[in-house]
Structures are given as structure tokens and as C-alpha cells.
Structure 1
Amino acid sequence: MSADTYNLERRQFLRLLGVGAGAATLAGFLPSALADEVAGQASGQAIVKGGTLFANVTPEPAGLVAGINISSPAVVISSSIFDGLVTYDAQFRPQPQLAESWEEAADGKRITFHLRKGVKWHDGTPFTSADVQYSILNVVKKTHPRGASNLAKVTDVQIPDEHTVVFILSGPAPVLWATLFGTETQIVPKHLYEGTNPLTNPWNSKPVGTGAFKFKEWVRGSHVTLERNPDYWDAGKPYLDRIIFKMIPDAGARAVALESGEIQFAANNPVPESEVARLQQNPALQLDTTGWQVPAPMFFFDFNLRRKTFQDLRVRKAFAHAIDRQGLADIVWYGLADVAQSCVPSFQQQFFKPGLPQYDFDPKKAEQLLDEAGYPRGADGVRLRINHVTEVSYGQVYLRAAEYMRQQLKNIGVEMELINLELAAMIRRLFTDYDFDTVSQWYSAYPDPQIGVTRRFWSKNIKPGTPSSNNSGYSNPEMDRIIEGIQEEGDVAKRKLLIDQMQELVQTDVPSVNLLELKFFGFYSSKLQGLRKGPLLFYSSLADAWLEP
């Protein structure tokens, strides 16, 4: 491929992704209201330094290094502890962070990053290119549930000196530019991780990063405290003295804490969906529903395909017909969700394929399919008895969703026992022991299907012990061919056809029932200024945040 052809195709891809010159952006589908990058700065207010921000995450994470113990609450905390090679502005364009600058070869096969000098890990050890090399090759590519796909074309990482990193790629990989932020392609200290299993390294619960805040303590069941990093490379920041992430398990109590000012920043749908409209009228609080546009959460119903019952396509289709997805959106989520038509969210217009096969709510069709599959009703009216793991630790809405689906499945003769576990136990059961029949859960789709969607269906992403990977055990050579084509194809139009094929196969083979596109939300105090407003607000560092008196 000539340099001119490559650059033309890359521009076409970036335009589809919504990208500006040389970098990725989501401007193509994000609201124009996201133009302000940092709340409060445009108004010219005088920044107030010092103070403690009381925040909340739900549920309590299993670990605090988000690139290893991956979960939404871990990301919210970890983003202030770890910096990435780049950060992003409100249009999702890469901006310098640990990398001051970079150059990309015309053929797309080399990206050279020039690292910021004088950066230290929180334990005082200098940050160098060796940390980046180790993290990319030994942590991200091997243990991250999206890493093998995100970095599929990264064949090597060279470090000619302590402050230069060269990614060697097998071919152009524009998707890489949407994955280099600190909690996705996470850089960890080599001196604390080398020679260990990153998934079980004790530093995952007492992290040492390069970010604006240093880990102070984690009192299980109570709080995580971060303190200002006095040696932060961005002189003068952070403005806050500390952040205390309080664990408040009860959603009603979290609503009260927000109204009273006990907590001033709360991500992950902190209050019951039924309370959002009321709290939105409180002038002391700000509601944000756009800080999740990049993660793009998708809610789905998975089968453990290691179970013989679910290896029958008719059974999987029966479950799809038995679940009223519109009812889930309207009744359970109070309208804070849309029915999913694909594994790719519809607002990713550059990738979403309309007109896919759908499974409308049709209990009679579901019963017919179960009869054909050899599961007639018994004398007690029951066809199947199964268990179902819920994500109740993320909020009662997930339990209500499971109960809603349990009743609908009961109507077609399926008895479903609900298993409600705290987050760490749920992760172990789903992603290590594979001890479940069915599960309803959400994954982040992210701005490109290669980042957050393909991991659900790629057989090479069956990674025991890795959260948010392919826990259903779905393995289909045709799907693998398509996904690996998505990873390798440099032609934008041909790659789009492969993404279409993936969506078609998911909807016809039904390895998973795509239920909802979730509209996540968060609340924060009207006195909290300096938030990095945009599509990654709740996954961004709080380095710029400050509190009005």
C-alpha cells in the first residue's frame, strides 16, 4: 500500500470514527454541548486550592488497577492514580500526558512516543520507557479483556532510550488511537510487577501510579482515600488535597448523601432510576448523562455455552423471544435505556447495521421452540431449571431486571434461580470458575467494536481469571475469522463489511441476547468545578477539580 493510499484510507476511517487529523474523536455522534472541556474554566472563576472531595463509587471494586481488575468503579478511582500515554479532550482527540509527543510512520507500521522526563512513580522510582514496554507486552496484551484485540497489530515495543517508545505494528491500526488512555492501556510499574502474575499481584489493592493522586488507604467496606501527589509532573496540580471514595451500599442512602452534601461526586448510576427526575430539580446538584458516551454500556443476557442445553440454537432463540426488552427499558429502567438492536450500539452510526434479525417479545414462539428442542412442560409445568447470576452489586436495577426476566421465563416453563453476589465473588464465579447457567451483565462497547464488542465473541478472549472477557465460552471459527479480519483489515469499507458480518452472525447465532443500550448517569455538587467535561467525564482524572467555598 502506498503512503498516499494509506493516508487516504486512514482519513476515511478516522472520519467514520469521527476523528480529527492524526487522532481519534467522537465528535461525529456526541452532543455539541460537550464543547467545554473543563467545567468552570471558561467562566474565569478563580481556582480554590485545597480541601477534600467526598465521592462515591458503586459497587466496591475488586481491585484498584483498572487495567487489571477491570470494572467501572475501579476505573473511576484508578483514573486519578494512573496517567496514560495520552489523555483526551472533549472531542476525544488525543492530548499529551505521559507521552509529550509522537510521530506515526506513513505506512502505519511504527508509532514513536517521546515520554515526558522527570516523571516519578508514587514510590519515587523514575518512570521510563521500560515500564511502557513491560506493560504493553506483559500486562495489556496478555491479561486485559480487550488488550489482545486493541493491540492485535502491535507486534513489538522497542525502547531505544529511557524516554522513547516505539510501537512496531504489522499494519495500520487507527483503532489504537481510541485506546491509549490511562485506564484502558494502563501503564504499571515494572519494578513492582515483573516476575509476578499481574492478575494476583498484591499491588492491585495498593496501587503505585504516576497520576495526580497517590493511594493512601483502602478500608474495606468503608472508603478508599487518595492524597495529593506533591511531585506530580503537571506543576500546581492537583488542586484538591485528597479524595475520599466512600462505599455506601444502599441506593436510597446515596441519594440522601448527595442531597445533604455528604458526597459531592457520584458515578455509576448512584441513585435509583426512579429518583433521577426529582434530584435533577435540586439546584445544589448537577446531573450528567453524557460522561459515559465513550464507554457506551450495553446490557445483555448470556448463556454458559459449556452447558449442553444452551448449545441448541432453538433454546437460545426461545429465551430471546421470551424477554420483553421494551418493558425492561420502560418499566425497570424508567426510560433510561433503549432497546438494543445489535451488539453494536445504535448511536455508533458509523458502525451500526440497521435491519438486523430481531427477536420480538413472543412467548408462544418461545414455547414452540422449546417444544421443538425437546423440552416439553413436565407435570408441574416446568421445562427447564437453571440459575442466573445478576450484577446486583452495581445496583438494585439489575436485580429488578433479573426478577422481571425470571417471571417472563416462568411463563414459558423455565424456572430461574437468581444468584446475587458481591462483585469479587461474582467475578470469580463468572470468569474463573465458569460456574453459572445464565447471567445478565453489562459491558462497555467503547467507540469502536474492536475495543469493546468483539471481546464477547472471540474464542481467543476466553481468558480464565480475566474479568469482562468471553465468559460464555462462545467459540465459532466463522466468528473468529470475522473478528480477526476486523483487527487486520486496513481498508475502511472492507472493515465495515466485516463489522456488519459480525452483527449479522451475532443476531442469527444468538450466542448472547442483546437487551439494552444503557443511558448511564452521575450526579455531582454544583460547587464542584474543573471536571473534564466530555464523553469520558466519569473515567477522567480529577487533577483539575476544585471546590467552591
Structure 2
Amino acid sequence: MNFRKQPKISIQRLPCSLDFSEIRRNSVIFLLLLFGCLGNASGCRGPARHDPSILHTMIDSAPSTLNPRLSLDAVGQRLEMLVFRGLTTLDSELNPQADLSEKWRLESGGKTVRFTIPKDIRDHAGRSIDARLIQRCFQNYFFKASPSPLKAAFSTLTSVTQIENEVIFHLSAPDPYLVKNLSAVRYFASDLNAEDPCRDPGPDEHLITNGLYSVSPYPERFEKELILSPRKQSAPRLSFQLIRDETSRLLKMMNGEIDFVQNSFSPIKTAWLTRQGFQMVQRNGANTSYLAFNLRDPRLAKLPVRLAIAHAIDRTQIVRYKLNGEATLASSFLISSLPEGAPFTPFNFDPAESERLLDQAGYPRQSDGVRFHLRYKTTTVKEGLELAQIFRENLKAVGISLDLEPVEPAVFFASIRKGNFQIYMSRWVGASDGSLFYRTLHSGEKDNRVGYRNPDVDAWTASSLRENNLLKRRKILLSIQTKVFEEMPYFPLWHWTNALLVRKDLVLPPSESLSLSGSYIPFADLR
């Protein structure tokens, strides 16, 4: 595929409502069209819905667990946010707000954080949740023999104590992200032991929910469907169904079995569904796709080579045609609207500059037109493979042969952790603050997969984790983002747009109610 020579899917330029090049790539849609199921035909959207009090939606991957102590993936966190509460929660702008706490304050230069717990908080079994139990909850999360993996986000936490209605966090050094990170640590207790909350449940125990929604009995794992019952009478019941295959999800939408979905389809199919009568609301999101370069590789260790690769990729055309405009170009992991995000820095598609940089780096074209080969690690997921093929064509135009290595997702992530790659593409989900720069850029961190080394960035990232003053921290983080974009250990590609599709008789929520991170909380307001 070469976007400059053969522009891909452009819905606006078609005289009819469908692009038939896309239909040919989606045989199921094509067959449905042949049999008259789509468009204005009545056969596709029969009365497949059963209980009108339940709104049905889909997820395309199952969370690894529904145990809040162990849940690290995005889907699990989003589901648990609906049924369990933490000391804090995040609003649609990803700012921390009070949840089980009613307020907090910092003391001792940020090394002590006090949370005030209101009276009369109860779980869905009617049992009290007070400061004493919340303190015990954090003891079980972080200080018992088998702590939760969530403890990794609280490296300076030394103890948690309780005095009357306050829960007090004691730190060895200030942590400006503590209050926000606590939103991922959720309170729970089992049906058999309300006095020892947040420990791993035994085989005969069930967790009691305490959030916006209840589930009884609460499962340890997501199987095929999870039905949530609201605590507010005005909110809908929600059914989450696991449908891994995109074609199956599309058919369920068209058959009237599903009422709404968020970020469930490729951009082209999302646009196609809106032409079939589904309403859509969108908002720019905080999920960021990027290319990673292994700086241990002798070629990729050269800055001109990394810059040449970046200049050779036509991001604007990819976003416009392949992603159907459902993304915005990136120059950092963080979107610029976040308090710690840097202003967007343009980076042009410029094949001529790419060729000049490669010549400068000492890689002239050989007799076959190829300068050198690079291995590109990708998964077998269709979207990732298609983007890899686009990158291959872009780089071929400047003399770089990109050899694709598609592997299963588990193998892909294992290879990345081991450093067994030259280039790969991935997506940072919910990039909400500057703490990620320490994890991904500091030379001593295991999540620095690319082997980036810069003493200034090491000092800045460490300093940013200890600076409670937002204005001072923003200045540090701006220096980090500017330097990293100049040195390009990662190439930020685009920030994904969050898209909520709902059936036409539901009330469409305002775009600002959608979370930047793709949270499920706005689903409670669907009617």
C-alpha cells in the first residue's frame, strides 16, 4: 500500500454510502448486502433484545481476573471501577476526585497524606466501611506476606495508619501521583469476613461490591457475560458480553442484540455503522500508539536513522484514510490537553529529508535500491498487521526493507520484555500523567524496553516524581518531552479517539462526558 499513489478509503469521495473496496475486504458485510439485510431492509434489526431494562454492550477481550488485588489490565480496571470504590476516583479529565474519602490534605512537605473518611458508608450487603477497615484494607494490599502487584506504583509508601476518621499515608519522599494512583486500589470485603477486607478470598468466599453497580454473586473471572445492577434507580442495568471476533460483533450490532459499544470496531466499520442508523459521540482520548526503536541495535542507535524512519511514515494519510480520522497526531505519550502534557510539536512526512538523513548516516542505496533491512515485530491481530504493511511500503520508498515478524500476542510481549526486537509498535492505554516517563525512559527501569540512556533525562524523571508543585513539575516534564522528541527513542504516532456508538432510540450523551481513558463510568448515564 502506498497512500500517496493510491489513496485508500475516503468515504466522502464515494457517490454511494459504502466503499466497495472495503466490502471486498469484509466478505460477511458483502454477503449481507447481497441478501438485503443492511440499509433499509427490515430483516437485520429484528426485535432481538430480550429484557428492555438491560442495556447490552460488548468487550473484545476478557480481563485476566476480576480480583481487584490482581487486576492490572485496562478492561478489568474499567469493570471494577463500576462495582468497587477507592479512596479516590478519576473524572472524565483524569483528575482525582474524592470517593470513599471526602477530602485529603498534604503535610510534612508531601511526605504525609491524610484522607478524611465520612460516616455511614456501606457496602451492598449493608455493612459499614469506616477508616479502621480502610486502613486494614491497605495493610492487606501492600504490607502482608503476599502484597498486591499494585504496590509497584507506591515505591515511597512506608506505612498506612488510622486515627479516628482519618487514614494516613506515610511516605519516605513526596509522591505527587499518590492521590491519583490510589484510584486503582479498590476496597472490597468477602461475604464471610467483613473485618479483614482486601485480602485474597478463599475458595468458598464471594466479594461484596460497593460501587455504582452491584454483582451478586461476584465472580473471580469473566466468562461469557457479566450483568451489573445499578444502585441508582434511574441508571440502567448493564450486560457486558465477551465477543472476540469483530465480524461477530458487527452481526450482533446489526441484529439488534447490542445497544451500544465503545471503541469496539475499526474506524472504517465504526463509520459504516453510523450510516446504518447508529448514533456516535466522539472525544479525543489518552490512548497513544507509538513506534519503539531498540537503541542497542547499531543502526537504530544512530539518531539520523531514527529520524529518517519517522520522516518516512505518512501519519497524516494513515489517520485520514486507514483510521478514518479517528485519531490525532502525537508528539508525546501525553495528549497536550493534560496538565502535564507538552504542546503538540509538528513532525513532517518528508521522504526527501529521510533519504538525506540515511545518506548522511552512511547507508546509501545498493544496486537493488535497498539500504538495509530491519525486523519489525508485530502481532497477528489484523489491525496491527495492516499498519505494519503500510509502514513497510512507506519505508520501502526511502530504501529501508522492513521484514515483518508476526507472532501471537503472548509471544510478542515476551519478546519485547526480553529486548528481542528492532522495531515494534504498541499502544499506551490511559497515558494520564508524567509518571510514565520515569518508567519508560529512566536508564535503571525495566520498562525502558528500548535501552534509552540520557543522564539529563534520568535526573529530570527522578526529580519529577518528587515535585509536588504542579507548575514546577510541568516545567521539568516539558524538558523531558522536548528532549525525548528530539532524540526519538520512541516515535509517538497518534492519540486514539474514543468513539461511543449507541442505537438510534437512546439518548446520546455529550462528548465531554466520555472519559479520556475510555472508562465505563459514562455508561451509567445512558437512557
8 Å CA contact 1:333, 1:397 repeated in 2: no
* CA distance in structure 2 between the aligned counterparts of 1:476 and 1:207, rounded to whole angstroms: 46
Equivalence for 1:38: none
Q: Is the 8 A contact 1:136 1:185 kept in 2?
A: no
- The counterpart of 1:471, out of the listed 432, 446, 449, is 449
Equivalent in 322, 325, 350 of residue 332 of structure 1: 322
CA 1:324–1:538: 2 relative to 1, 3 Å: closer
Q: Are 2:256 and 1:249 aligned?
A: no
Counterpart-to-counterpart distance in 1, 2:177 and 2:124:
28
What is residue 270 of structure 2 aligned with on the other side? 276
Structure 1 stretches lacking a partner, 5+ long? 1-48, 229-233, 463-468
Q: 1:455/1:260 Cα in 2 relative to 1: closer, same or farther (>3 Å)?
A: farther
AA matched with 2:351: P
| Corresponding residue to 2:443 among 455, 459, 465 | 459
Paired position in structure 1 for 2:396: 410
Distance across 2 between alignment mates of 1:120 and 1:461:
39
The equivalent of 2:519 in structure 1 is: 539
Match of 2:490 in 1: 512
In structure 1, distance between residues paired with 2:177 and 2:82: 24
1:357-506 superposed matches below 5 A? 359-390=347-378, 393=381, 396-431=382-417, 433-444=418-429, 446-450=431-435, 452-462=436-446, 469-506=447-484
Distance 1:530 1:164, change over 3 A: farther
Paired with 2:390 and 2:497, the residues of 1 have a C-alpha distance of: 19
SS in 2 for 1:248: coil
| Secondary structure at the counterpart of residue 459 of structure 1 | coil
How is 1:284-303 mapped onto 2 (pairs within 5 angstroms)? Answer: 285-290=278-283, 293=285, 296-303=286-293
- 1:501-536 C-alpha deviation (Å, 9 max, x unpaired): 112211221111121122221223456679893435
Check conservation: 1:528, 1:545, Cα contact below 8 A: no
Deviation at 1:243, TM superposition (A): 2.5
Map 1:135-174 to 2 at 5 A: 135=141, 143=149, 148=153, 151=154, 154-160=156-162, 164-169=166-171, 173-174=175-176
> CA deviation digits over 1:357-407, x for unaligned, max 9?
x653233433343344444444544333333233664xx443332211111
1:397-427 CA distances to partner (integer Å, 9 max, x unpaired)?
4333221111111223333233445544433
TM-score, reference length from structure 1: 0.69
The amino acid across from 1:457 in the alignment is: L
The equivalent of 1:225 in structure 2 is: 226
The answer for the alignment partner of 2:500 in structure 1 is: 522
Determine helix, strand or coil for the equivalent of 1:440: strand
Residues 174-203 of structure 1, C-alpha deviations (whole Å, 9 max, x = no match): 54444442xx34567797987x9xxxx999
2:81 aligned residue: 79
Q: Secondary structure at the match of 1:366?
A: helix
**Counterparts in 2 of 1:276 and 1:411: CA distance versus 1, 3 Å:** same
Corresponding pairs, count: 460
Q: CA deviation at 1:238?
A: 9.9
- Distance, in Å, in 1 between the alignment partners of 2:523 and 2:281 is 19
Calculate percent identity across the aligned residue pairs: 22
Counterpart Cα distance in 2 of 1:320 and 1:492: 32
* CA deviation after TM superposition for structure 1 residue 136, in Å: 5.3
Q: Which position in structure 1 is the counterpart of 2:259?
A: 264
* Letter of the 2:442 counterpart: W
**In structure 2, which of residues 331, 354, 368 is the aligned counterpart of residue 341 of structure 1?**
331
Structure 2 CA distance for aligned equivalents of residues 387 and 259 of structure 1: 40
Shift of 1:273: 1.3
**Matches of 1:82 and 1:493, distance apart in 2:** 33
Q: TM-score, normalised by structure 2?
A: 0.71
Aligned pairs for 1:93-112 (under 5 A) are: 94-105=96-107, 107-112=109-114
* CA 1:446–1:512: 2 relative to 1, 3 Å: closer
Give the letter aligned to residue 358 of structure 2.
L
CA distance in 1, matches of 2:112, 2:363: 56
Kindly provide the amino acid, as one letter, of the partner of residue 314 in structure 1: P
Aligned counterpart in structure 2 of residue 132 of structure 1, from 138, 146, 163:
138
* Matched residue type, 2:273: L
Aligned-partner Cα distance in 2 for 1:312–1:67: 43
Following superposition, the deviation at residue 483 of structure 1 comes to 0.9
Q: Distance in 2 between matches of 1:534 and 1:497?
A: 29
Distance in 2 (alpha carbons) for counterparts of 1:519 and 1:210:
31
Q: CA deviation at 1:134?
A: 4.2
Equivalent-residue separation in structure 1 for 2:374 and 2:450 (angstroms):
15
Match of 1:320 among 285, 289, 310: 310
Give the root-mean-square deviation of aligned CA atoms: 4.3
Q: Which amino acid aligns with 1:315?
A: V
Asked if structure 2 preserves the Cα contact closer than 8 Å seen for 1:217 and 1:225, the reply is no
- Pair 404,270 (structure 1): closer, same or farther in 2 beyond 3 Å: same
Give the match's secondary structure for 1:99.
coil
CA distance in 1, matches of 2:294, 2:383: 23
Cα distance change on mapping 1:507 and 1:118 into 2, 3 Å:
closer
8 Å contact from structure 2 (residues 88, 99) kept in 1: yes
Task: Determine if contact 1:133/1:165 at 8 Å carries over to the other structure.
Answer: no
Secondary structure of 1:216's match?
A: coil
Distance 1:537 1:157 in 2: 30
Q: Does the aligned pair in 2 maintain the 1:391–1:441 contact within 8 Å?
A: no
* Cα displacement (A) at 1:439: 1.1
CA contact (8 A) 2:110 2:468 kept: no
- Which whole-Å deviations, capped at 9, do the CAs of 1:57-94 have from their partners, x for residues lacking one? 23444445688554433333333343222234556665
* 1:428 aligned counterpart, secondary structure: helix
Q: Is the Cα contact below 8 Å between 1:339 and 1:516 reproduced in 2?
A: yes
How many Å apart are 1:245 and its aligned residue?
2.3
Q: Which has the higher contact order (CA 8 A, sep 6+)?
A: 1
